Structure 1
């Protein structure tokens, strides 16, 4: 059974222009819930847990689940999963919206850091945490290889290919993008979603499934602002350079500085702001 697909859908609207009203067919971003059910072995018995429900754009769901599990530290590589599939015994309205994941039996699972409410809406992930203590990042500091430096010209050129590739946003104006580049600024992967954190999870998951090593001199561009959780996910994935078209929050900046990540915001064609990790910029 396959999941639902499609980033956009048609919708009839009434457009008001001055005193005139016109009926038009428009495109809107699709948003539907996705539930992740985790199966893991504990004390010789298989356990099942409804892990999280996130509001996402249907499509590339396996990338999303893989990236979420990796960014949350539940898995460390793709082969930690035995299998991943859509649930078939669900209500008609849940078809394509529930994924079961089974981990390897010998994989230690610690879910204490995932004490979230079971509902996370699309625009925010960290607000689902149930305790302030959960807002932390246990990952080690990112390495700095002095032989790899990014030129300012490469950074400023990153968005040039984005307009042509971000088709969902171009149709609706309602989707976020996360984009992966190599050290020279060549676009490798792009993922879109109504949720900023979902787009990044999809990108991380796609890289894992395609065997792309994120810690090896890669750059990630985000189409929106940068929250604490976005930096946390990127650090957990080993991403050394995180660039955004929007603004970072104070917690995002502090975490990036603490973990030795290069964090850039307000990227424009002719300028950008560096908040941490300046040593990687030439």
Structure 2
């Protein structure tokens, strides 16, 4: 199976001094996803947690929502011409009776690690397939203190073991409303890291994640909001900017979306009711001079 990192010799130039040294690179390999034996998609990913990635992707596509809906997940033997197993082809077999939308079987998609696979590229599609709208996921809606949100990026950064060695990975993490780290995954694609988190939660019977906060490195795209909505996550925070469509979907779904989360500074784009003190206060009216 492909390793998470690889070692390569490089030429390093620093302050005019040239030297040769080994460097650690993050591995990037294709993963072909199959559903009931049929080719579904190919994504570039960092090897590891491949079964979780595959099932998490199916959650985001609205195909499955519970562990019992998945009968088996296997690497495909005979993936090469000589019958060898590359460990780069995963087949998810659904439990008998679980419906499979035609659109997922008809799509043969190739995607880079930076963009992911967006099979529900419209607000209407997400609205009609989401099983756990964020506002309906808990009897008592989750609330967060800005002080708690501000601690999450440093906690995520300290948990990125492979990033420490390579500097070349995105990460996604789940937190409790009190800021306790629940799980963290790394990958060359931030969408893959989220799929790995969701897939692990699916297999542990934890969906919907109605009491969890999702933090992602980098920006918040439409696809990441989609994945959070489909997993029932009420709060998505990112260290960088969201896209306009991401904000639109988050607002439509009733999700709290936080961007530019850096230190004590952050922008709350939607769902301000979940962030304590986020209500905008009008400045006091100054008495008119007489």
State the TM-score, normalized to the length of structure 2: 0.86
Q: Partners of 1:53 and 1:226 in 2: how far apart?
A: 22
1:106-185 pair list within 5 angstroms: 106-112=97-103, 116-126=107-117, 136-137=125-126, 138=128, 139=130, 141-143=133-135, 148-185=142-179
| Residue 104 of structure 1: aligned partner | 95
- Out of 15, 27, 31, the position equivalent to 1:30 is 27
Q: Partners of 2:267 and 2:115 in 1: how far apart?
A: 24
1:205 matches 2:199: yes
Shift of 1:231: 0.4
1:222 matches 2:216: yes
Shift of 1:241: 0.2
Structure 1, unmatched stretches of 5+, are 40-47
| Residue 49 of structure 1: aligned partner | 38
Shift of 1:37: 1.5
| Residue 194 of structure 1: aligned partner | 188
| Residue 89 of structure 1: aligned partner | 78
RMSD (CA atoms) = 2.1
Shift of 1:133: 5.9
The number of equivalent residue pairs is 269
- Out of 14, 18, 37, the position equivalent to 1:17 is 14
Q: Secondary structure of the equivalent of 2:47?
A: coil
- Alpha carbons 2:123, 2:249 under 8 Å: kept: no
Q: Partners of 2:85 and 2:110 in 1: how far apart?
A: 15
Q: Partners of 1:57 and 1:239 in 2: how far apart?
A: 24
Shift of 1:146: 5.4
1:157-204 alpha-carbon deviations (Å, 9 max, x no partner): 112322221011121111110100112110010001001110110010
Q: Secondary structure of the equivalent of 1:255?
A: helix
Q: Partners of 1:135 and 1:22 in 2: how far apart?
A: 56
Q: Partners of 2:226 and 2:105 in 1: how far apart?
A: 13
Q: Partners of 1:121 and 1:114 in 2: how far apart?
A: 20
Q: Partners of 1:133 and 1:259 in 2: how far apart?
A: 12
